[in-house]
Amino acid sequence: MTATNRQITLAARPVGLPKETDFRLIESPMPEPAPGEILVRSLFLSVDPYMRARMGEGPNYADPVGIGDVMVGEVVGEVVESNNPRFSEGTLVAGLLGWQEYAVTDGSDLRPVLTGEAPISTALHVLGMAGLTAYVGLLDICQAREGDTVVVSAAAGAVGSIVGQIARIHGCRVIGIAGSDSKVEFIVKELGFDGGFNYKTTEHYTRRLAELCPDGIDVYFDNVGGSITDAVFPLLRLGARIGICGQISQYNLEKPELGPRLLAYLIIKRARIQGFLVTDHFDRYPQATAELGAWMASGRLKVREQIADGLEKAPAAFIGMLQGANTGKQLVRIAEHE
């Protein structure tokens, strides 16, 4: 075991898109578990859009990361030393252990890694937060049902790619919006979406959506906000549901973007719009992961991972994800699982 722990801390609050210099790679002494604690060796780190908000000081649902503090992040790791009878050495765990090679914890916030035949990394996406977000957002918040036309934005990403596939499994017609031709090809040809378009090369979003959804839109699963979301409102069907999952097009803006005022469409179509946070829905985790795991095992649900190697690559992987460099789930491999 090395005598030092490598960690990535927040060096500066970003202005606009984060830069690699907003992070600092430091070496600190290897932490030692006190009685009741365990030492966890990180194997995979998840990089996620919510981290952008935690780097700033603005109002949010969770406290910002302090300057000089280890960046917040979810990790799958292995218990390598245990002073806690609940955990034996070699146990795999997942939890918010941060951007670092080793972490000490009393284990109270950890969950077991129950990925079965699937790779352990899936505990950080389809069998973790992204999967639960997609499942709860689509089925509970948006109440998607057979025959609905569902539109999802950031459709080739971790959450969006699962949303579209759950919708297909439930007998919906699914259209995805993504940022490159290869992503559109991925969601249609590999994941079985009914259609999609590249918002970076499409001039008139509402017109393109109207071609792809001739009967209108019953469910919009919003991951991005901004002008993509604006384009959906005129096409809502009677009783439509909009789930506000994310607004990634706005996360790096220094000033809020002003948009058209579209709420009248909600009146005309008796439509409902609701924001949600996955952290309020952990009671649905057992059912969601059981179903998602079964769909994956039977080949009905496909996942793609994009893996950067080494803790030092985490800032670039995170910044790349914010700009759409990922297809599927962006992860960082911190160490090999032996």
Binding residues (CB under 6 A) for ligand NAP: these are 48-50, 129-130, 133, 154, 156-160, 178-180, 183, 223-224, 228, 245-246, 248-249, 276-278, 321-322, 324, 326
Least CB distance from residue 10 to ligand NAP, whole Å?
18
> How many CA atoms within 13 Å lie on the side-chain side of 258?
0
Least CB distance from residue 149 to ligand NAP, whole Å?
20
Which CB sits closer to ligand NAP, 83 or 227? 227
Nearest to 20 by CA among 72, 57, 55: 55
Whole-angstrom distance, CA of residue 176 vs CA of residue 290: 25
**Alpha-helical regions (H) of the chain:** 50-55, 129-135, 158-169, 181-185, 205-212, 226-232, 264-268, 285-297, 314-322
Compute the chain's Rg from CA coordinates.
Answer: 20
Close Cβ partners of 3 (under 8 Å, ≥ 6 residues apart) = 29, 30
Which CB sits closer to ligand NAP, 79 or 331? 331
Least CB distance from residue 134 to ligand NAP, whole Å?
8
Are 80 and 1 a contacting pair, CB within 8 Å? Answer: yes
Least CB distance from residue 53 to ligand NAP, whole Å?
8
Least CB distance from residue 184 to ligand NAP, whole Å?
9
255 φ/ψ angles, rounded to the nearest 5 degrees? -120, 140
> How many CA atoms within 13 Å lie on the side-chain side of 13?
10
Which CB sits closer to ligand NAP, 134 or 271? 134
Which CB sits closer to ligand NAP, 110 or 248? 248
Which CB sits closer to ligand NAP, 101 or 194? 194
Which CB sits closer to ligand NAP, 265 or 276? 276
Least CB distance from residue 179 to ligand NAP, whole Å?
2
